[in-house]
Amino acid sequence: MQTGSPKRTSAAAVTGMLLLDAALVVVFAAVGRGSHAREATLLGPFETAWPFLAGLALSWLLTLAWRRPAAILRTGVPVWIGTVGFGMLFRALTGQGTAIPFVIVATLTVGAFLLGWRLIALIASRARARS
């Protein structure tokens, strides 16, 4: 897994990292739905997550994230901010809630998820390089 070196990341690894980001956004939505006692349906988390998934996709495109998908500062931070920012914009445009407490929780949770795995990958990569 590339964490900052100029080496090219394989298409399979890039796809896996994009899918990990998307899965974590869905986990965020599912946990949020559960904490608000929303009806448990198979598609429920995706109904809640779609604005953030759209924001994630747009952020990946705008940041060219596939070039260095595991990089924390170059990719992780802008993808995180874009995912939340575009997600909130899409929620507002479709009449969904964007209350300040929700924006704060979403920003912190999505940040922990999208930056967290990248930090773990960086630590693991550095540990492998030392051994």
Residue 73 lies in a domain: yes
- The tokens of 19 are what? 């899918």
Number of domains, the chain: 1
- Return all residues near 26 (Cβ < 8 A) that are at least 6 apart: 45, 46, 49, 53
The per-residue pLDDT for 67 is 98
Which amino acid is located at 29 in the chain?
A
At 118, is the pLDDT very low, low, confident or very high (cuts 50, 70, 90)? very high
Convert the pLDDT of each residue in 39-82 to its tens digit.
667 777 888 899 999 999 999 999 999 999 999 999 999 999 99
Instruction: Show the tokens assigned to 75.
Output: 């990719």
The pLDDT tens digits of the residues spanning 38-48 come to 666 777 788 88
Q: Is residue 87 part of a domain?
A: yes
Q: Are 49 and 25 in contact (CB under 8 A)?
A: yes
Range of the domain at 22: 11-130
Say if 84 falls within a structural domain: yes
Residue 2 lies in a domain: no
Q: How far is CA 58 from CA 2, 90, 101, 123, in A?
A: 22, 12, 24, 28
Q: pTM for the complete prediction? A: 0.88
